[in-house]
Amino acid sequence: MERQVATWAAQRPVVIFSKTTCCISHSIKTLLSDFGVNPAVYELDQLSRGHEIEQALCRLGCTSVPAVFIGGELVGGSNEIMRLHLNQSLIPMLKRAKAIWV
C-alpha cells in the first residue's frame, strides 16, 4: 500500500490524505486553498481501503491526518504545515512544486 500512496502523491503537486470529520484536516485544506492550491484530496473515511491507506501513512511516518505531500514528498501533518507557514517557508515550497505560480 505504501507504493500506492507514493504513486498518488506523485500525481499532483499537493496531495492530502484526510478525513471528512476532521476539523484540523478541513483547516489545512482551507489554508492551502486560500493560497490558490488545488490539491488532490483522498478522504480516508470514504475510501473502501481507507484503513489500509492510513496504516501505510503511519509506516511512512505520518501518524495522523491530515497527511500532506508537496512535490511528491511527505511534509507531514497540520503541525508541520503550520510551522512552515509561520516561518514563511510554505509558499516558496508550494511554488517550487508548481502548486502555485504567484
- Is residue 102 one of the residues assigned to a domain? no
Positive or negative, the CA dihedral 42, 47, 51, 56 is negative
**Tens-digit pLDDT string for the chain (102 aa):** 999 999 999 999 999 999 999 999 999 999 999 999 999 999 999 999 999 999 999 999 998 899 999 999 999 999 999 999 999 999 999 999 999 987
pLDDT on residue 15: 98
Q: Is 12 inside any structural domain?
A: yes
Q: Is 17 a member of any domain?
A: yes
* Domain assignment of residue 50, given as a range: 1-97
pLDDT of residue 37: 98
**12: CB partners within 8 A, 6+ apart:** 39, 40
| CB distance 67 to 76 below 8 Å | yes
At 75 the pLDDT is 97
**Is residue 4 assigned to a domain?**
yes
For the chain, the domain total comes to 1
Residue 46 per-residue DSSP state:
G
DSSP 67: E
Tally of CB atoms within 10 A around 55 = 13
Q: CATH number for the domain including 3?
A: 3.40.30.10
